[in-house]
Chains A and B, each alone.
Chain A
Amino acid sequence: MKKALVVLLLFLVVFATLTTAAVKRGGYINMTPMKQGVLVKNFNPFSPNALEFTLGAFYETLVYYNPMTTETMFFLATDYEWSEDLKELTFTLRDGVEWNDGTPFTVADVLFSVNLGKENQALDQGVLWSVQGLQKVYAADYNKVTFQFEEVNTTVLDYFSNVYILPAHIWKDVPDPLTWTGNENPVGTGPFLYEEGSFTELSYRVKRNPNYWKLGEDGKPLPYIDGVQFISTTNEQAPLKFARGEYDWGGYFIANIEDTYVKADPENHKYWLPEGNLVFLNLNNLRWPFDEYKVRLAMAYAMDPEEITRIMASGAVPASISGLQSSYLFLAKDALDKYGVEYDPDYARELLEEAGYRLNSKGIYERDGKALSLKLYVPTGWTDWVIGCQVISDQLNEIGVEAIVTQAAWPTPYKDNLFNGNYEICLGIAVTGTNPHYQFVRWVHSDNWAPLGENAGNYYGMRYKNETITRALDAYQRTADREEQNRLMAQVVEQFLADMPSVPLFFNPVWFEYNTKTFVGWPNADNPYANPRPSGMDKLPILFTIHLK
């Protein structure tokens, strides 16, 4: 009896400490939908215009790779394993997960969802069949699914962050999943449910799934918040609505954000602009004068990204000369010590002189009668970039290079010129994706090389070929060892810096405004635990963390 009392007392003490430490539950956050103006109910996961909570909040993936923490988070899978020859990837599924209509989630749902894409490219999530070389998917056990690939390609794991699992018992009778609009009240496994009757042209609500499988710190199902109220707005309206504190989470560009948004309530109105895609000075490596290393290096020394982004004032973040996002800068540590570049216009001039260039009467470097007077292309009307190019032009002017800012329409002829190599210098964009491999393989792999005039296949590259880089990038895909992958990536970055095929300038920002008046726990520069994008799986770590103040 006494023992029982002690246990009870202990239990009470533990319970008390737990409840006091526990986060406060409840509340609806107000959020801007990505779509502006009129909203149309669309919860079809195959539609590129599905409302943002369709993916992630209703339907989940097996795993999700978080590029901010560089960790793999497990969702509908609890583990994965590569076969000995690295051609088979096996996921172990989570036990006891139910669809929100009460049907158990099984291996059949995974097989069904993946097999939809086998015949129909439009349903091929994560481009598994059409690009990644998936050959077969089968149930290895009652709770194991194995994916068999044609070749060794370990980076395919990242693509599973885009493969959403649908309930077979609902979707198997749908004749054309791509155009199906019948899932008015989606049956998913995710942390949120559609709140029936809440849809209007300008708003909708989702509420928490009370039976979600993932538990919070207090031992009860996540999320902590009761739901999300979406209210659509437009670019024109957003700054006013943000300043009035009408949103807890926003994803809009706001000009002059300090004065318009933060000033209205400095205590609570916060923003964080993490690094998105990389913008770089694209130097055509196959054409004069950038077929020469010293000239390229001179360009790198002439650039001051701090000044460029400050004048652009678009929220862009200066990039490391390695082109790596901050969360991956550890890969470039040694290479930066060896080949790092700091803004130094005098040294840039020296480099040009070493290459045999001399100043002509107009103050422009010239060699064999050819002056370094070049057109700097920028897409028409991309105002922030155009301003950036003016600054770049000024900075180049300081080292005796004339860059004439020339606007050309995107995508024609701008993109076509990139495809065909018809330029000397322009602003380029490199999709950073989930990790540096994703970025560099599209950017500097020799697969993207083509002779001038021939289609290079994508518009990120600068007609660059480097066998060391190509080998390292290929080897990366053939190992599942993280350490080894990091070593190979460091090698790629070192080669990149040693050869300087282009000059990384800045990252386009991911726009993220948040309000701490009612809810706290948002990611920010000090605690960058998630990429604050409302699309896809990126938002989930945030939705699992935020709670009432």
Chain B
Amino acid sequence: MKYLFRKLSLLAFALFVAVTLNFFIPRMMPGDPATELVDKMQGIPPEALESIKVAFGLKTDDPMIVQYFKYLGNIFKGDLGISLSRFPTPVSTVLALAIPWTLGLIGLSTVLSFFIGTVVGIAVAWNRNKRAASWTVGVFIFIRSFPYFWLGLLLIYLLGFRFEVFPVGGSFSPYVQRPSWDFFVSVLYHGFLPALTIVVSSMGTWILTMRNNMINVLAEDYITVALAKGLSLKRIKTLYAAKNAILPSITGFAMSLGFVVGGGLLTEMVFGYPGVGLMLFQAVQAKDYPLMQAIFLFISTAVLAANFLADLAVLVLDPRARDGGR
């Protein structure tokens, strides 16, 4: 219980720090969004700058500290403000458009990659003396060292551009009615290349983590005892070895789930996938503070929550954690 309380208060404190930094950091960036807009877009007369500033609510006489408390108050009310780059649409509406795509693409591929990676990791550890196992590990370590976007570009060029098997980007075809079966198929079709990129390039990490832990655990005495007792090999492999070896992987997995909401920034950019990552990139370019803040807040909350959940999971899986980590 004490363990839980300690984790909870840590969570609250970290959240407060994240929210505060979130307010100040974007304001340290040079320039303001209205000027940015006028400079970038030809066609807006520079005289309109003042009008735009009024519209954006940038003409405020409040000192920074008052703005900060207003911001804190609004967050508690769940009011994230109005997006400047998509004025006058509220940030929550804008974000709600992107979140499903990111959760769908990055979330599913992360889960998929974790499961496949872990299973493969168990298998290669169990069969570590076979040639095929060493090859698998080698290949995935090699692939893991590619940056996501590079693999993405390669796939787009080959399968999207050269051979036109898959679309080069986007997340669905604008010509199909939604919702419908065709739309669902179109989403899968468009999501295939980005998902493949993520799964293939992140799987190596899971394989390696699982394999190494597994090999450590397999060297433990209780495994030898279990073998000596003549338990079935399958039972030893899953319940004795894998269950214990998976603990560090679970923590890593929870972390990466937290980062999912940030979207694979580069993957989404390369594929023009309308998720949170692409939106964050565009918000930064447009100096859209409210949208940036909302996305950062979303990411930091998710990472903290995921960490907290990982702690809980460890609590359940590892009896040692239950008596205060001793």
Contacts from A to B (Cβ < 8 Å): 34, 36-38, 40, 42, 44, 46-49, 121-124, 126-127, 130-131, 159, 162, 178-181, 200-203, 229, 231-234, 236-237, 240-241, 243-244, 276-277, 409-412, 431, 433, 442, 458, 510, 533, 535-536, 538
Contact = CB atoms under 8 A, between A and B. Distances in A.
A48 B52 contact: yes
11 contacts: A38-B94, A38-B279, A46-B55, A122-B55, A181-B89, A202-B170, A237-B169, A237-B170, A240-B161, A244-B164, A458-B46
Contacts of B41: 34, 48, 535
Nearest to A508: B42
B54 A122 contact: yes
Contacts of A458: 46
B87 A236 contact: no
Nearest to B270: A236
A277 B43 CA distance: 10
B233 to A, nearest CB: 50
Contacts, number: 134
B282 A36 contact: yes
Given A37-B272, A121-B54, A234 B88 contact: no
B50 interface: yes
Contact of B168 (A178, A237, A276, A533): A237
Contacts of B94: 38, 40
Contact of A122 (B51, B101, B278): B51
A412 B43 CA distance: 23
Interface in B199-255: none
B198 interface: no
A34 to B, nearest CB: 8
Given A236-B270, A240-B156, A533-B42, A202 B55 contact: no
Contacts of A411: 30-31, 35, 39
Interface stretch (B15-23, B65-73, B171-179, B313-321): B171-179
Contact of B88 (A127, A180, A410): A180
Given A240-B156, A276-B42, A40 B172 contact: no
Contacts of A431: 46
Interface residues of B, number: 49
B291 to A, nearest CB: 11
Given A178-B55, A202-B172, A538-B43, A40 B30 contact: no
B51 A535 contact: no
Contacts of B278: 37-38, 234
Interface string B67-90: 000000000000000110111110
Contacts of B160: 240
Contacts of A203: 174
Contacts of A34: 41
B309 interface: no
Contacts of A42: 86-89
A200 B270 contact: no
A200 B178 contact: yes
B234 to A, nearest CB: 47
B47 interface: yes
Given A37-B272, A46-B55, A48-B37, 15 more contacts: A34-B41, A38-B278, A40-B89, A48-B48, A48-B55, A122-B52, A122-B54, A127-B47, A127-B48, A202-B172, A202-B174, A237-B170, A442-B46, A510-B42, A536-B43
A180 B272 CA distance: 29
